Amino acid sequence: MKNLIARGLSGALFVAVIVLSVINGFEAPLFLALEVATQLEFYLLLGRKEGGKSCPIVGIVAGVSLFLFANLLFPSLMVFPLLILGIPSAYILVGMFILTLFLAIPLLELYKPQGNLTQRWANTLLGIIYVALPFACLPILRGERGAWGILLPLIFIWCNDIGAFVIGSLLGKHRLAPEISPKKSWEGFIGGLVITIAVGLTLIPTFGPSYSNYLIIMPLAMGLMAVLGDLVESMLKRHVGVKDSGNFLPGHGGFLDRFDAMLFALPMAAWLGFFL
């Protein structure tokens, strides 16, 4: 019971901080910090297993460059100082990304030639693709529909998470993926999707006909991708042999535990946003 209360309070506080930052247009520094922390946690988690060595500094620098470049393509308050100073920011940031991605890892290996270079490079790239790229989709979402472009996908992800947890706890009998995540059930999976779609439908009168397709398709997509992201992260933890990826929030585990659904859902939201 205490763990459930701690989970609820810490989760509510975390959601409030994100929502307020997005509404006021100051989410970029927050999400950049979360991206760095999540990517570092991923590399540390991967490094617990043999063959999981990577170059965290290189991967994080590349991830930060990618995030900043996305904020340049869809300008936010975060990059305005650079633009005002007249610095050719896009060229600098793209150059940083390319340099760290394709040159830094081999150069580091020249001075530390241990382990498998291909493996280290692949693990480093995985952290960029799996963690940094989804966070870089956030400026794209704001560019598509403003603050709601970020908040609506997040709301659907959170609704799916809460719905699956509640329905699964009350009715769950048939395991969804017992070898990966024993607690997840088909009842929770279906219940989470139904609740998420229902939330989207109830929002149509508020947002109007222009949002109808968006509020029908996006909840379904976010629900499906959120579950997939959750299962992939569970598979990673099982591979490494840990219960939680870290201790970021009481009752929620680490950064990866908190953002696993977002890592798969946000790229899909950014892609669908161009068509809906």
SS3 53: coil
Task: Identify the pLDDT of residue 35.
Answer: 95
253 or 129, which is more confident?
129
SS3 136: helix
| Confidence bin at 14 (pLDDT 50/70/90) | confident
63, burial (CB in 10 Å: exposed 0-12, middle 13-18, buried 19+):
buried
pLDDT in tens, 52-62: 788 888 889 88
Task: Identify the pLDDT of residue 169.
Answer: 87
| Confidence bin at 65 (pLDDT 50/70/90) | confident
Task: Identify the pLDDT of residue 40.
Answer: 93
Task: Identify the pLDDT of residue 119.
Answer: 83
Neighbour tally for 166: CB within 10 Å: 14
| Confidence bin at 258 (pLDDT 50/70/90) | confident
H or E segment to which residue 77 belongs: none
E runs forming strands in the chain: 175-177, 181-185
Residue range 226-234: mean pLDDT, rounded: 91
| Confidence bin at 127 (pLDDT 50/70/90) | very high
